[in-house]
């Protein structure tokens, strides 16, 4: 048996340069795709009702507002529970304090939401406006017994602003698993809120 060796090829300068060109083009394509994705995701639509305006995410489902709600939008592309933004305009007594408005809201949430638990509450300043932040968690399950869906743990944030004889409440609900990643977009929505 004869053992033969194959001649080894050495890479020429032009071959190495082509390798770097491929890497550079790939990185540029990924960067361009990321920029396009961010511009599409950050598109917004103006909203205005009862003297309150905001920039809502484009492509989200606008649900018919109920009760004191003036806006209710949901991202149907979210995994698990659909990320939701709600704006409420609740009438309060002219001399009511923010603590009274928060107590009333906590009571309403406790009655309406399954396994509602307050995680934190504090006074904050939101884009130059005094507000009260209420962080909580609850369990959302589909009331239709014919669906075999696992209940979702939902985290919520309410920002309560006093506006004369009304309390303006900006609400953020998201699946516990996507809460942190969706919070930045809600902050942009909150920065657009005017009343």
pTM for the model: 0.76
In the predicted model, is pLDDT for residue 175 greater than 90? yes
In the predicted model, is pLDDT for residue 109 greater than 90? yes
- Domain edges within the chain: 11-41, 44-191
In the predicted model, is pLDDT for residue 108 greater than 70? yes
Mean pLDDT of all residues belonging to the chain:
85
**130 in Cβ contact with 149 (< 8 Å):** no
pLDDT in tens, 21-69: 888 788 877 877 766 665 555 678 899 988 999 999 998 988 887 889 9
Q: What CATH class does 44-191 carry?
A: alpha beta
CB atoms within 10 A of CB 151: 13
**60 in Cβ contact with 74 (< 8 Å):** yes
pLDDT in tens, 143-167: 555 456 788 899 999 999 999 889 9
What would the DSSP string read from start to end of 82-101? PPEEEEEEEE--TT--HHHH
pLDDT on residue 52: 92
């Amino acid at each position: 048996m004869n053992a033969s060796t194959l001649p080894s090829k050495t890479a020429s300068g032009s071959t190495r340069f082509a390798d770097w060109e491929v890497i550079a083009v790939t990185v540029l394509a990924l960067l361009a795709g990321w920029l396009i994705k961010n511009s599409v995701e950050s598109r917004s639509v103006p909203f205005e009702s009862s003297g309150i305006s905001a920039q809502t995410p484009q492509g989200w489902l606008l649900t018919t507002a109920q009760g004191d709600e003036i806006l209710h939008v949901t991202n149907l592309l979210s995994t698990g529970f659909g990320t939701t933004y709600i704006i409420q305009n609740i009438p309060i007594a002219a001399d009511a304090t923010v603590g009274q408005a928060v107590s009333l809201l906590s009571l309403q949430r406790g009655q309406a939401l399954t396994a509602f638990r307050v995680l934190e509450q504090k006074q904050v300043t939101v884009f130059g406006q005094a507000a009260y932040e209420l962080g909580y968690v609850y369990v959302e399950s589909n009331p239709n017994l014919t669906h075999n869906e696992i209940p979702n743990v939902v985290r919520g944030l309410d920002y309560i602003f006093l506006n004369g004889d009304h309390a303006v409440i900006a609400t953020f609900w998201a699946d516990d698993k996507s809460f942190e990643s969706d919070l930045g977009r809600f902050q942009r929505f909150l920065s657009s809120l005017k009343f």
